[in-house]
Structure 1
Amino acid sequence: MITVAAEPAAAPELLALLGRTPLARISAPLPHAHPGFWAKLESLGAGGMKARAAVAMLLGARERGELRPGAPVVESTSGTLGLGLAFAGQALGHPVVLVGDAELEPSMRRLLRAHGARLEVVDRPAPRGGWQAARIARLRALLAELPGAYWPDQYNNPDNTAGYASMATEIAEALDHLDVLVCSVGTGGHSAGIAAPLRRRWPGLHVIGVDSVGSSIFGQPARPRLMRGLGSSIHPRNVRYEAFDEVHWIGPDEAVDACRRLARGSFVSGGWSTGAAALVAAWAARTRPGAVVATVFPDGPHRYLGTVYDDDYCLAHGICTDAGSGTTTPTDGATAAGLRPADRPVEIPYPSAVEATGWTRCRTVADPLTPPHSATAGAPKEGGP
């Protein structure tokens, strides 16, 4: 039987630290020169990007009577939401129990525990649904063991999306105009939460989703994924497929290359989702002359010092480190397969046409769970070069 700490004292003054992150101009070549784009630096906000969603989900549950004062909060996480929930738990006075998996970095495990969260770790992926399904199975068992516990269910909770309204407001206040918005997609929360209000302000806004190879969100087959923080082996209901004009799948080679170029050329950088979003944002700025492009960098680099920024790790996983430190990088920047990271996407006509193994673009976006006979299923969006 699991036990949690006694009801913690709430610290509502922490809520004043939420959001208001800077919007930085990024001009580092990724990998080619480009006119520049804007990036919201969410790593510089208390609790990280998902603290916005975590606070919104707990406040919404309290207002509906689903979360009692001092009751435990239980959630599945690959790390980032866990950090946000640790922040929200401290601010609102709730003990937090998180379910991670064996691929959760040791540094993130220590950080979550340091912030007072209790961490449960599953040691093997489920036969169907991978690590996410295994985490959720353990989460359901915890709910039975913890009377009164609340599960925010980040993948399907509309309050997840609502929590990012403040980010949309901050972007709109900082920019006079916006032509292209690039969003990494995992639970679907931040893309849905900022795309709709920004498109209301600028109706012609072109929205690009960025996914991971091996993710099933946009209709590709689910495969084991090296990259964390974007992509999914399940289909979160928070993903708003109708919001996207196109989707790009990015592989580890491209994400690592972009992260390292960011770190060396713009100082600000992050992990897998930051590198993936930055690469596509630079491509959009380069291929749409005169367009104002913005994206979100969900986190910073510190969590990834043993993966994205570690040459030995990258070489062990066959990842090109052409833009890295060079200490153990082949002089020609080759991967184990003799390839460099892609510097432009391969285009496919619809999501299931070809399995993406590297940077791939598709201008047909539809909910993969929509019946094929639906009038709108698979209909291509207009616009885009």
Structure 2
Amino acid sequence: MHRPATDVLSSGVGRSLAAAVGNTPVVWVSDPLTPAGRGFWAKLEGFNPGGLKDRPALHMVATARARGRLLPGAEIVESSSGTFGLGLALAGKVHGHPVTVVTDPGLEPDMHRLLCAQGARVDLVTTPHPVCGWQEARRLRVRELLAERPGAWCPDQYANPDNIAAYASLAHELTAQLGRIDVLVVSVGTGGHSAGISRVLRVHAQHLKVIGVDASGSTIFGQPARTRLMRGLGSSIHPRNVAYEQFAEVHWVAPAESVWTCRALAGSHYVSGGWSVGAVALVAGWAARTHPSGTRIAAVFPDGPHRYLSTVYNDDYCREHDLLDRRPADDPEEISDPGEWEAIRWTRCRRIAAPVREGLR
């Protein structure tokens, strides 16, 4: 039977790469992160071609084209620690744009190779900003490249509200898959997915509790900025897209705690991911243990394990950085204010205040 020529044949099936993004599965996660009979639902965004940030990359590029801000064939230039870069490489292929990803020496060699293989140009900054670290150095380099290349466009994932809007689809998927959601556990980096998902879910569930997961050494929630080993969550600047009013509490997680949780997940559930996934799973497991029985907890796993085979899942790397076999405590440390002390291990705070965003003007 002759099939009519069409770009999209049915949900999730089409000639465009964009059809492969979305409709990701959820799985139930329990022991060893929770006791028997307790657990949480994990949304596996690693099932997208490049991960969670395929969604905002496609949406932001399509929206900019529709508004005339991104002209046909114009270059896309953006700062990324990796995953958004993959999403932009995908969006560039879909819409016909060259992509330059500005990153820093912390980018994993495997990710560097993957970005290049997928057609992106990688521009590496070599010196961190003296106050705001690598992220600010990358942003300043993006400005230089935009000035040098007339017509080039930057999505600005840290401040562009289209980053937030892109996650409405994920929120609707969660509602269709799980129905009522009482607690949402999400990592925080640019602030896009935590803001976009929580705002949509809260329309149908005013009682929703949002738990943010940050990295030790990140300044997003008022801690001092330090050099961070973990990629994909945390920040050395204050992104405008972080919706502080949505969070009930924040947890900071250290690298060794994330590594242990990633490996425990892989060994017990055959699902896992990188630094963000380990940190989110640790906190979601704690939430499942400490909230009343019957509380429905959803956690967003931003990616899969593949870009982390040389780091999180590499014994030599983990041994070199003292990350092996460091099982986390059963409960986080508690502080009453982000400035009370520096969180160098898993730490929880229920006071959320938006700091001055001096990193973004």
Q: Which TM-score band applies after superposition, normalised by the shorter structure?
A: over 0.9
Once the two structures are superposed, residues 6-53 of structure 1 have per-residue CA deviations (whole angstroms, 9 ceiling, x without a partner) of xxxxx9722211211111111231276671110111111123210100
SS in structure 2 opposite 1:214? Answer: coil
- How do 1:252-291 and structure 2 match up within 5 A? 252-288=255-291, 289-291=293-295
Structure 2 counterpart of 1:366, one-letter code: A
Please list every run of 5 or more consecutive structure 1 residues that lacks an aligned counterpart in the other structure.
Answer: 1-10, 323-332, 334-339, 371-385
**Which residue among 200, 203, 214 is the counterpart of 1:200?**
203
Q: CA RMSD in A?
A: 1.6
- How do 1:5-154 and structure 2 match up within 5 A? 13-30=16-33, 35-154=38-157
Number of the residue aligned with 2:180: 177
In structure 2, relative to structure 1, the CA distance for the partners of 1:311 and 1:342 (3 Å cut) is same
Structure 1 counterpart of 2:157, one-letter code: Q
C-alpha contact (below 8 Å) 1:258/1:279 kept by paired residues: yes
The yes-or-no answer on 1:310 pairing with 2:297 is no
How far 1:173 sits from its partner (Å)? 0.3
Once the two structures are superposed, residues 147-181 of structure 1 have per-residue CA deviations (whole angstroms, 9 ceiling, x without a partner) of 10001100000000111110000000001211110
**Which residue among 156, 162, 166 is the counterpart of 1:163?**
166
Once the two structures are superposed, residues 252-299 of structure 1 have per-residue CA deviations (whole angstroms, 9 ceiling, x without a partner) of 111011000000001100000000000101110110122110011101
- Aligned partners of 1:133, 1:247: CA distance in 2, in Å? 23
In structure 2, relative to structure 1, the CA distance for the partners of 1:33 and 1:127 (3 Å cut) is farther
SS in structure 2 opposite 1:120? Answer: strand
> Which moves more between the two structures, 236-245 or 175-184?
175-184
C-alpha contact (below 8 Å) 2:89/2:119 kept by paired residues: yes
C-alpha contact (below 8 Å) 2:22/2:48 kept by paired residues: yes
Runs of 4+ in 1 over 6 A off after TM superposition: none
Q: TM-score, normalised by structure 2?
A: 0.92
Q: TM-score, normalised by structure 1?
A: 0.87
Structure 2 counterpart of 1:224, one-letter code: T
C-alpha contact (below 8 Å) 1:34/1:286 kept by paired residues: no
**Which residue among 250, 273, 278 is the counterpart of 1:247?**
250
C-alpha contact (below 8 Å) 1:212/1:227 kept by paired residues: yes
Structure 1 counterpart of 2:303, one-letter code: D
- Aligned partners of 2:329, 2:81: CA distance in 1, in Å? 27
Structure 2 counterpart of 1:313, one-letter code: Y
Number of the residue aligned with 2:352: 365
Please list every run of 5 or more consecutive structure 2 residues that lacks an aligned counterpart in the other structure.
Answer: 1-13
C-alpha contact (below 8 Å) 2:34/2:288 kept by paired residues: no
Q: Between the two proteins, what is the percent identity of the paired residues? A: 61
- Aligned partners of 2:137, 2:154: CA distance in 1, in Å? 16
Structure 1 counterpart of 2:310, one-letter code: G
Number of the residue aligned with 1:234: 237
Number of the residue aligned with 1:300: 304
Structure 2 counterpart of 1:264, one-letter code: G
C-alpha contact (below 8 Å) 2:103/2:124 kept by paired residues: yes
How far 1:250 sits from its partner (Å)? 0.4
- Aligned partners of 1:55, 1:131: CA distance in 2, in Å? 25
C-alpha contact (below 8 Å) 2:128/2:134 kept by paired residues: yes
Structure 2 counterpart of 1:207, one-letter code: V
Structure 2 counterpart of 1:218, one-letter code: F
**Which residue among 333, 337, 353 is the counterpart of 2:340?**
353
Number of the residue aligned with 1:326: none
- Aligned partners of 2:268, 2:339: CA distance in 1, in Å? 36
